[in-house]
Structure 1
Amino acid sequence: MKQPYYDSILLIERLHRHFLEVLKVELDRQGVQDINNVQSLILYNIGEDELTVGELTARGYYLGSNVSYNVKKMHENGYLTQERSAHDRRSVRVRLSEKGIALRDKINTLFERQVGALGEAGLSADELNKANELMRKLERFWTSALDYTNYPASSAA
């Protein structure tokens, strides 16, 4: 069990890096030089929403310090607009600018092309659903590992 578990951890990390490389290549093809692949993924996930940096972090996609830096860079490069919350002046809400929406549309087109090619690559919706179910189980396992009251005791005491 140890080796398959470890192999899964390595594969998940490697898949994430490969996906980010796919985004980087697409940005290069589009001639987009003022945003990186991680920032473009954050931008895509913001979508039509208006969120705070805290809400982006709470979604579990990103580390807090990285989100703040990346949001700042995307704002500086015109992909996001920022507005202070009327209710809490300490809170800043972000949403996509016109430039951000245009890039999100390009990324969406990439995803649509990839979805169209999945069948040709021998991947079915059922297989992806099963893989997603497995990854959600791992996510729940790792989340429970953070709750030390429910985590199995170590045999090396």
Structure 2
Amino acid sequence: MEIALRQPYYDSILLIERLHRHFLEVLKVELDRLGIQDINNVQALILYNIGDDEMTVGELTARGYYLGSNVSYNVKKMYENGYLVQERSPHDRRSVRVRLSEKGLGLRDKVSALFERQIESLDKGGLSSEELARANEIMRKLERFWSASLDYSNFTMTSAA
């Protein structure tokens, strides 16, 4: 059974990475189409995920599964370009909370419109809601598997020695 799983497992890892890169390229093309040059595709996705919420960089990292240093850098750039508003937390002066500015809300709405256009086109691409739900179910199983693998008490490595 182990040998039968090897290639499909490896293919899944590569496909997930490739899908993410393709999606980011779609987002980049949309930003270019809109003539938006002061934010990149990753920053636009972070901005979209903030939505109407207000949160710390740590909360954003946990919610979006972004790398911490990249989130801090991207939040700084989005703030400098007017997409985010930053405020010190009244409860913890070390903590900075971010939310979308008017400019950020406008871009979030444009990204949302892109998603809506894509959703309307999914059936033309041969994807049903049931197929997407099944794919999501499988990806959640992989996520749980990888999360459980991080619990080192359950993770054993065999030595080749």
TM bucket, shorter chain: over 0.9
Tell me which amino acid in the other structure corresponds to 1:23. L
2:120 matches 1:116 = yes
Using the TM superposition, give the Cα deviation of residue 156 of structure 1 relative to its aligned residue in structure 2, in angstroms: 3.3
Moved over 4 A (4+): none
1:68-109 per-residue CA deviation (whole Å, 9 max, x = no partner) reads 000000000000000000000000000000000000000000
What's the CA shift string for 1:55-77, capped at 9, x where partnerless? 01112420000000000000000
Matched, 1:93 2:88: no
Q: TM-score scaled by structure 2?
A: 0.95
Hey, what does 1:148 align to over in structure 2? 152
Answering whether residue 48 of structure 2 is matched by residue 44 of structure 1, we say yes
Q: What is the alpha-carbon distance in structure 1 between the residues aligned to residue 130 and residue 42 of structure 2?
A: 28
SS of 1:62's partner is coil
Q: TM-score, normalised by structure 1?
A: 0.97
Identity of aligned residues (%): 78
SS of alignment partner, residue 95 of structure 1: strand
Residues 56 and 95 in structure 2, CA contact (< 8 A), matched pair in contact too: yes
Query: 1:5-154 alignment to 2 at 5 Å?
Result: 5-154=9-158
**Root-mean-square deviation over aligned CA pairs:** 1.0
| Unpaired stretches in structure 1, ≥5 consecutive residues | none
> Which residues of structure 2 form unaligned runs of 5+?
none
| Matched residue count | 157
